[in-house]
Structure 1
């Protein structure tokens, strides 16, 4: 029996092996082994070394995050005289415009000019058949000779009768009539002279001459056409475009505001002579020659509320043509102490308020609200908020914020044209990299601090 008992026990052990009760013990052993492995891995890092960076980061954060000075480019504002300009729309018009019409009737025999060519005053343009006018001139000349002969005869008779009446050879009546005949023949001579002059003028009109110098237009007739004196239709036109007029309009509101500013002393007059005018063409390019303001209208257009200004502009190359749309920039005044700020130095918030970053005396950055008066090229003219001598950040705006200490580098405003950053500010990327590097230990310390509870 005893020999069977172990066998029964053995059988009992074999039967209890599939029992699920040992499984929780194996799971616990596996979990304990895993925890031991994690503890061994985390225990390789010294706890004191992890705590030190975390403590230093916390201390740095507590002290306000002491950052090294940020390299920025600044511009020192200087007061300078700035000429005020007003850009107004307008159109060009010819300095002189002549419509050519015939002054005598006849058949056009020849056209004596080239369309589009430049002609001088007095140059022949058309030739009308002059045969009939030559005959008329000859007839008038003959009539004049006839009247002159009659007048000579009348004078001789009057002289003879004046002597005869003294000896009573002729009556007083005959003597008086002879004197009257002299006066009559003299009048006939004058009339004949006038008729001859008219005939000569008509003969001259058969050759149509250019009344002014300029550029010829298209001819509406050809050789062989019949024209009549003083007809309504024009034969051609002559346009003088050197110089040329530019007629622009300005609203009375702008004119009144400018006058108030001048009277208040905020602006100074641009000059005692005629104001200079610069022309901008339709494609946006500037015309190379300046003009002068010649005339300012005295009546306001009731429909538009504007007055007309007329400028005279040299046009030797004929680039400006009548009827072109242009823009005229007029010098209206001078600001003696203008502050001009590069446009990239100014930012606006969501409400549209303008501000700049100004460097204070102790080398810190502050945000300063400003008021913009107008754009002058690639700069802003500041109306208020800044003064001469202020240092404004123009390079490094993305990496600096109010309250930061900065390392200034003076930037030449001339190098900021077109919105380009200055070369001196290129080295300012380094502080941004240092900031990123300085942030890494803090992140590592935070990671170490996060792992410390797991180690524990």
Structure 2
């Protein structure tokens, strides 16, 4: 029995040893096996640099209409949604109490002015009389002081009249800018106050509008570096893609960028300005835009030829003279259709593997196959 078990154990050990040798030979053969791969070579192209960014329309001038006094709305002369001009009356607040205050202030002013005349004449008489000792110097000084107080009182009453007039004028709430007026949040008969937080309505001048866009700081830095010699300040065109996927008929200009990066998102705000003569662009409308950022002499690499390494770097795999392979780290700016815009890491002489990437590893020996013509023909078919 012992002899029988020993024989079985030796047999199993021999089979296991042979299996390990076969696996080693298999791995060796895979590493040394010549694998056919397809490659392409690329030339630099003059590529227009375009970015698609999302943003919101902002009216250049937006005026929130609020009352500056307390009172009840008596009239609302404007039509909601219409175009109003600067200075047009929008609301009329009950003015009876403000008229009374104004008239009272006027009456007080007139009374103080009449008193001033009397004290002025008296001061002049006393000033002469004191020279001949007709009155005491104390009486003359008291009269002069009363005269000066009367002058001050007149000035004070003038200020009260001016203040009362301002409040009376504020019973007519006027448009501060020209533009389209929105829906009124208050109706005739409503009580309003100067400290309220809610606006009565809003006027928006949308003959020109801003579009505020957001772009990642990293992307902005790359593009600035790429086209620093080709772009001029305020020379960047921007086009809007409308909600129906058509292009807005007027081209805008990129005007400025925020001077800091949002610490929460890592994005920078860009602002473009557009003409809007027909009022087609509405305040707060969400739009997509295409920014023309100039041209760049770069490579367009098919995305199927690009992979990521362990550190998430973009790489391509190239064929060497001895038919071994080499991976090269590349600088990708952005995607254009099904290609990557690459500015660094590639030479025009590089044979870039585009077919068979999944069959090879770093030790593979390859059989190169030029597929440039086949690849170009496939592109033409896709474009039809």
Question: Aligning the two structures, in what range does the TM-score lie when normalised by the shorter sequence?
Answer: 0.5 to 0.7
Q: What are the Cα deviations for residues 117-172 of structure 1, in whole angstroms up to 9, with x where unaligned?
A: 11111110011111221222111111111111111111100100011011100110
Mapped to 2, the partners of 1:173 and 1:418 lie a distance apart of 110
Give yes or no for the alignment of 1:95 onto 2:56.
no
Contact 2:59 2:283 in 1 (8 A): yes
CA distance in 2, matches of 1:418, 1:137: 80
Q: Does 1:298 align with 2:262?
A: no
Q: Deviations over 1:323-374 (max 9, x none)?
A: 2221222232322x57899xxxx897899x99xxxxxxxxxxxxxxxx9987
Question: Greater share of strand residues, 1 or 2?
Answer: 2
Q: Does 1:225 align with 2:193?
A: no
Matches within 5 A, 1:83-232: 83-232=48-197
Residues 333 and 287 (structure 1), Cα distance of their counterparts in 2 relative to 1, 3 Å cut: same
- Distance, in Å, in 2 between the alignment partners of 1:301 and 1:148 is 62
Of 199-208 and 253-262, more deviation after overlay is shown by 253-262
**Does 2:213 correspond to 1:248?**
yes
Q: Which runs of 5+ in 1 are unaligned?
A: 1-76, 355-370, 388-400, 406-415, 421-456
Change (3 A) 1:146 1:374: closer
8 Å contact 1:250–1:309 — kept in the other structure?
yes
**Post-superposition shift, 1:220?**
1.7
Return closer, same or farther for 1:274/1:146 CA change in 2, 3 Å cut-off: farther
Contact 2:234 2:253 (8 Å CA) reproduced: no
Q: Distance in 1 between matches of 2:342 and 2:306?
A: 20
Match of 1:284 in 2: 245
Q: Is the 8 A contact 1:378 1:418 kept in 2?
A: no
Distance of 1:206 and 1:256 partners within structure 2: 53
Deviation at 1:81, TM superposition (A): 5.3
TM-score (norm 1): 0.57
**Per-residue deviation at 1:235?**
1.4
Secondary structure of the residue aligned to 1:133 is helix
Q: CA deviation at 1:375?
A: 7.0
Whole-Å Cα distance in 1 between the matches of residues 140 and 334 of structure 2?
95
* Structure 1, 254-263 or 179-188: larger mean CA deviation: 254-263
Shift in Å, 1:377: 8.4
Change (3 A) 1:319 1:350: closer
- Counterparts of residues 22-421 of structure 1 (less than 5 Å): 82-262=47-227, 268-335=229-296, 419-420=383-384
* Runs of 4+ with >6 A deviation: 77-80, 338-341, 346-351, 371-387
**Change in CA separation of 1:182 and 1:99 when aligned onto 2, cut-off 3 Å:** same
Output one character per residue of 1:201-237: Cα deviation in whole Å (capped at 9) or x when no partner.
Answer: 1110110101111211111222122222332232111
TM-score (norm 2): 0.67
Q: CA deviation at 1:417?
A: 12
Distance 1:148 1:309 in 2: 60
What do residues 59-95 of structure 1 show as CA deviations (whole Å, max 9, x unaligned)? xxxxxxxxxxxxxxxxxx9998554222211112222
What is the alpha-carbon distance in structure 2 between the residues aligned to residue 138 and residue 327 of structure 1? 58
Are 1:147 and 1:189, in contact at CA under 8 Å, matched by a contact in 2? yes
Shift of 1:382: 8.6
Give the 3 Å change call, closer, same or farther, for CA 194–417 of structure 1 in structure 2: farther
Unaligned stretches of 5+ in structure 2? 1-41, 308-314, 317-329, 350-368, 374-379
Question: Matches of 1:217 and 1:96 in 2, distance apart?
Answer: 14
User: Can you list the C-alpha shifts for 1:399-445, whole angstroms capped at 9, x where unaligned?
Assistant: xx979x9xxxxxxxxxx89934xxxxxxxxxxxxxxxxxxxxxxxxx
Q: Is 123-132 or 96-105 further displaced after alignment?
A: 96-105
Q: Once superposed, what is the RMSD of the aligned Cα atoms?
A: 3.7
Alignment size in residue pairs:
299
Structure 1 residues 149, 84: CA separation in 2 closer, same or farther (over 3 Å shift)?
same
